[in-house]
Structure formats: structure tokens, C-alpha cells
Amino acid sequence: MIKKEHYFIIGGGSLQLEFLRCVKENGFITHCFDYDPNCICKNECDFFHLISIGEKEKILELAKFYNIVGIGTTATELGNITVCYVGQNLGLATNSYETALNTTDKSRMKKIFTKFNIPTANYIEISNETEFEELLNKMGGGYNRISTSC
């Protein structure tokens, strides 16, 4: 079988390995993206790109260059955001970029659940450390700051 069509795998860790193998078995030219130069998928894909899976614009540029026919990932929310961003921009069969954001940003997800009366646990959205401290104080608790300097 002559490989002609390019398929992007977002992420090169152990959780993407079986997916990569499946894509290869189906005759696609595989491209793997990961920030780790020693990731497990590096030596199994046809092309390895040392690019973080969060760099969706760079990946989109390469997707256009290679005229990809598909893009996917497994077991990574950040990777799914990139998959959907690239897929939507190229008209590929992926969820929308908005859907990816709504399912990975838990505060967005909770707002949607509430809007459509979908049962969900109570939640409070906080945006910074000051709001967190105020919330703890209201609840009668507190916390100790831990220095992260070495």
C-alpha cells in the first residue's frame, strides 16, 4: 500500500501510541507533535515535529502545508483543543473549537449545565488568589502560603 494522505497525531506519549499505530495500519503518513524530543511515539511516526501540542497556530500552518486528511488525539484535553481548532479551520470531521473549549474549561462547562438545567454539583467560580482567600474566610477556614522558592 502506497501512503499518500497525511494524518496528524497530537501528542506523542504512551497514551497516543496505540492510536498512532492504528492510523499507520490504515495507510496514512503519520505526523506526531510533542514538546518532548524523547517521547515514545517519536520513533514510530513517519514525521516527528518538536512542537508543543498547545501551539495550535503552528500546527495549523503545517496542516495546510501537508494538506492533511485527518487529525486526532487520545487522552489529552489540551490536545483536543488543538485538534478541534485545526479541524474546524480545515473543515475536517472534528468537534467544533467551541465544543472543545466548553468541555475542557470546567467553569464554562458548569455554566452550560446550569443554563440547560442539567444536574451538576454546586460550584463557585474564582479567578484569583484573593477571591480564594475570601471564600475560605467566609467558610471559616484559611490556608498557609507555602513558599515555592528553593
Residue 123's identity, in one-letter code, is Y
Cα 143 from Cα 74, distance rounded (Å): 36
Q: Nine-digit cell at 75?
A: 487522552
Domain boundaries, the chain: 6-104, 109-138
CA atoms within 13 A on the CB side of 28: 23
* CATH, range 6-104: 3.40.50.20
pLDDT tens readout for residues 31-64: 999 999 999 999 999 999 999 999 999 999 999 9
> Is the separation of the CB atoms in 6 and 67 below 8 Å?
yes
Predicted TM-score (pTM) of the model is 0.83
Q: Which residue has the cell 497514551?
A: 15
